[in-house]
A = this chain, B = another copy of it.
Amino acid sequence: MKSPAIILIRPQIGENIGAAARVMLNFGMRDLRIVAPRDGWPNEKALDMAVGAAGLVEKAKIYNSLEDAVSDIRFLLAATARKRDMEKPVISSKQAGFLLREKLFKCGIIFGPERTGLSNDDMIMADNIVTIPVNVNYTSMNLAQSIAILCYEWFSCDASATKTKKEKPAPKKDMSALFKHLEQELDKSAFFRVPEKRRKTWENIRTTFQRTNMTAQEVRTLRGVIRSLTQKKSVK
């Protein structure tokens, strides 16, 4: 059982990064990844706040883009409190603990910036949305506290890993390449006719593909399909 990666996207407050590292280590997690931290890197406040987990902060991997940060991840959760109009399955923190425990491949959870949370662009990459049940009258949770709850659920969950022979889902880098490929071809073919609708349309398409939970082989096949379709067109 691999411990999931905790991926902080554009975190704003160094103390929260440190507090996240500390609670990750409390619950046996060590894979901290950070995309574009607001105050640069390294961050003294993160190190101070981490106390005994400062080593985890020092070893955090820093990325410029979410795409790079999740390239090796095969099952990705997006932590958010807000309801979204995105067609993704929403699971509870308790369910997330079980799901992450039973996977035999690399998983991760993304968390958005303190002020705004995850953007739709961030969430599109994820397989599921995970929501912590909270008081409807005060849903605004501190970033490190949300991380604490999800790490705790993963650690304290007693699901025994189900050793199935099922195919692994494709790593996210394959999905990214697939989407880039498809988008280029859609652009070439002038698919997006109304610029104002482009964003939403493309989001919907990606969401649909994401839900299929494709294996690496299926991604290769699909890219072959796209190549084939587009070559045929250029031959005409």
Contacts and interface: CB of A to CB of B under 8 A. Distances in A.
Interface of A: 19, 22-23, 25-28, 51-53, 92-94, 132-135, 138-142, 144-145, 148-149, 152, 155-156
Nearest to A135: B28
Contact of A25 (B19, B133, B138): B138
A20 to B, nearest CB: 10
How many copies of the polypeptide does the oligomer hold? 2
A139 B51 CA distance: 12
A141 B23 contact: yes
Nearest to A19: B142
A121 to B, nearest CB: 26
A47 to B, nearest CB: 15
A26 B144 contact: no
Q: Dominant SS at the A interface?
A: helix
Contacts of A141: 22-23, 26
Contacts of A152: 93, 132, 149, 152
List the 10 closest pairs (A to B, CB-CB), nearest first: A28-B135, A25-B138, A145-B148, A26-B134, A133-B156, A23-B145, A26-B141, A148-B148, A149-B152, A52-B140
A140 B51 contact: yes
Nearest to A93: B156
13 contacts: A22-B140, A23-B142, A26-B135, A26-B140, A27-B134, A27-B135, A52-B138, A53-B138, A133-B155, A144-B145, A145-B148, A148-B149, A149-B152
A4 to B, nearest CB: 14
B155 A26 contact: no
